[in-house]
Copies of this chain bind each other. A is one copy, B any other.
Amino acid sequence: MEDRNRQEQASPEVQARVRASFDSQGLMGHLGARITHIAPGRVHIVLPGRPEVTQQHGYFHAGATSAVADSAGGYAAFTLFPENTEVLTVEYKINLLAPAVGDHIEAVGTVLKSGRTLTVCQLEVFGVQDSGRKLVANGQQTLIRVDRTPGR
């Protein structure tokens, strides 16, 4: 099922819109994160491990884990929005289930419920290394759609 889902791709227009927004997020570039998959209602972001994203024990910092999870959920919601709209995070909650270790972490945001105003996403973060892929964080996020004021 993962494979089937992986093959789904958002339309080229939506992908371009998501990538343009992602590229304008200073934080994502600064952390070294990149978008690896854009499906309708689902976005994957990968963050490679390096000292700049760690906490005091050398694991990925919960803040880095959450930052990519938040962005993955935000863009997952955004793939379902019409043009000339923007997405803002209202709130999220995340459980850090296990030390986030690995060559990289992969955050997956998936739309659970898409409403006219509010969207709710599931957030998952996996630690990935040669030996496998392990769920290290799991969360839930609420987002709001904002219509872009014409002329802005």
Interface residues of A, Cβ cutoff 8 Å to B: 21-22, 24-31, 50-57, 61-64, 66-68, 70-71, 86, 88-98, 112-113, 117-118, 120, 122, 135, 138-140, 142, 144
Contacts and interface: CB of A to CB of B under 8 A. Distances in A.
Given A91-B91, A96-B88, A140-B139, A52 B66 contact: no
Given A91-B96, A93-B93, A97-B112, A63 B67 contact: yes
A94 B117 CA distance: 18
The copy count of this chain in the complex is: 4
A91 B89 contact: no
Contacts of A68: 63
B24 A56 contact: yes
B57 A63 contact: no
Given A54-B27, A64-B67, A138 B135 contact: no
A133 to B, nearest CB: 15
Given A97-B113, A113-B138, 14 more contacts: A21-B56, A26-B53, A27-B53, A30-B30, A61-B71, A62-B70, A63-B66, A67-B67, A90-B95, A91-B96, A95-B112, A112-B135, A112-B138, A142-B142
